[in-house]
Amino acid sequence: MKSKFLSIMKRLNISSTLESNIKPFENFVTISSRSVYTGKFRKKNLYSKLSPLGDPGINLGPELDKWVEEGKHIRFVELKRIIQDFRKRRRFTQALQVSEWMEKKVECTFSSGERAVQLDLIGRVRGLDSAESYFNSLSDEDKIDKTYGALLNCYVRAGLTDKSVFHLQKMKENGFASTPLCYNDLMCLYTNTGEYEKVPGLLNEMKENGVVPDNFSYRICINSYGARSNIDEMEKVLVEMESQSHISMDWSTYATVANFYIKAGLTDKAVATLKKSEENLFKRDGLAYNYLISLYASLGNKAEVTRLWERKKIACKKYINVDYITMLGSLVKLGELEVAEKLLKEWESSGNSYDFRVPNVILIAYSKSGLTEKAEAMLEDLTEKGKIPIPNSWGIVAAGYVQKNEMEKAVRCIKMAFSVNENGGWKPNPKVISSILSWLGDTCEVEEVEAFVGLLKDFVPMNKNMYHALIKAKVRAGKDVDGLLDSMKTDKIDEDEETKKILSLKEDKAE
């Protein structure tokens, strides 16, 4: 639940229009405040051209230039929608490219809102120093609440408490702290740093300064008390929130409270609050249904889990993959593994795209239940059907074998994970790898250990556990380890007590 409160509200928007102070450039024929046009209208719009180019390595500037050269429209409203869409999808680099292309090529005068968006993107893409430089370069007219707020967001995102507090104080002095957003940012920072005790004081300061808290303000404060198991104070904030005429209660706040009731063992209060949450959710809010299903599963309430699952289908028309992941996880939590297996078969015939995160829920359940052979057989069956498991799927099975101390099988499965890691980015579970390396060093031939470490180096840099496995194997084989010790020094890995213990085996063997 904690992660629900660590994300900061989206501060910036790009709804404000660009001023129409536009100068012609290159071969533009006609220019207006809404579009730039040089030829015949084409049906394919700019968004449909840029949206598929999701590779971060693709620079959209030349793509935009090419679009203009081909005599096609460039509508400012569409550019802003593209930036907004890319930000939502965390394509920050490309969003910044579009924003800077607008400013440079069209030579338009950005509003303070567009400046704030650009500052936020610069902070995300180029770092805090660049964001500060951009802010300092702005004119006094552009240094208003939105741009100040964007820089505060950068400080909060970087976890810089002192700078955030100092910057918020400057905003107060300049009259730019008149909305809940900046206070919410700082409360989120305190949540991120675990300084929950500072959150209620900031909520009180808001009210003293005439700033009216919003839903998020109250929810962060509720979370701060819940995280400290202070149920009484949490309930007081909830009652205050419910009494505010400007507040429209939402499902998320009640679900937050219910989650803390569950953790405190207050089942009756949790159920009553979950009912309130359900009363306040939007009919087709799939995320809300999934969250409530998970909470009822935590309570062990199969009837409510099933009821909400059926209601969700009526409300949302169909189940998507994340819905199946939620329900499968809930059934596993309820101990209904056979029912979960049937639901997995339903998903396989649903026509949804094949996402291995769905069967992974069952793989984890098998592995934790000691049914590791069944999990491995499931992956082999899927492979035969042409479904190539992702590395994490094999990693789950490997972890199951480690748990059962069947290390040869664990090694086999982790090697399968290595072999299917075509796209990169996957990292093996450190605990699983540590157990495997320890076993290899204690029992296997030097060549086997070297071969495994050679494969592992493609995923993680050489570390102490890898060296210890190699040293142990060589010591057992009576081989020289000086070269390995030199390599450890080169990699700036210091010898520790475990290293000395392994080396002492060499001395014992010599005696």
Pick the more confident residue, 30 or 305: 305
> For residue 385, what pLDDT band results from cuts at 50, 70 and 90?
very high
Token couple for 419 = 């072999």
pLDDT at residue 311 greater than cutoff 50 = yes
pLDDT value of position 42:
43
Q: Mind listing the pLDDT tens digit for each residue in 30-44?
A: 223 333 333 444 457
> For residue 49, what pLDDT band results from cuts at 50, 70 and 90?
confident
23 CB-contact burial (10 Å; exposed 0-12 / middle 13-18 / buried 19+): exposed
Q: Please name every residue paired with 291 in a beta bridge, in sequence order, or none if there are none.
A: none
pLDDT value of position 137:
94
Q: Mind listing the pLDDT tens digit for each residue in 329-360?
A: 999 999 999 999 999 999 999 999 999 999 99
Q: How far is the C-alpha of 203 from the C-alpha of 387, rounded, in Å?
A: 52
pLDDT value of position 110:
82
pLDDT value of position 384:
94
Q: Mind listing the pLDDT tens digit for each residue in 138-186?
A: 999 999 999 999 999 999 999 999 999 999 999 999 999 999 999 999 9
Pick the more confident residue, 399 or 60: 399
Average pLDDT over residues 452-467: 95
Count of Cβ atoms closer than 10 Å to residue 87 Cβ: 22
Long-range residue pairs from 34-39, CB within 8 A, at least 24 positions apart, any chain: 34/75, 34/76, 34/77, 35/73, 35/74, 35/75, 35/76, 36/68, 36/73, 36/74, 36/106, 37/71, 37/72, 37/73, 37/74, 38/68, 38/71, 38/72, 39/70, 39/71, 39/72
Count of Cβ atoms closer than 10 Å to residue 309 Cβ: 20
Q: Are strands 74-75 and 30-31 parallel, antiparallel or unpaired?
A: unpaired
Token couple for 276 = 């309130």
pLDDT value of position 201:
96
Q: Mind listing the pLDDT tens digit for each residue in 209-265?
A: 999 999 999 999 999 999 999 999 999 999 999 999 999 999 999 999 999 999 999
- Any idea where the domains of the chain sit in the sequence? 427-510
Q: Mind listing the pLDDT tens digit for each residue in 430-454?
A: 999 999 999 999 999 999 999 999 9
pLDDT value of position 305:
98
Pick the more confident residue, 81 or 43: 81
Rounded to the nearest integer, the mean pLDDT of the chain is 88
Q: How far is the C-alpha of 5 from the C-alpha of 411, rounded, in Å?
A: 39
| Cβ proximity of 321 and 353 under 8 Å | yes
| Cβ proximity of 404 and 368 under 8 Å | no
Pick the more confident residue, 86 or 107: 86
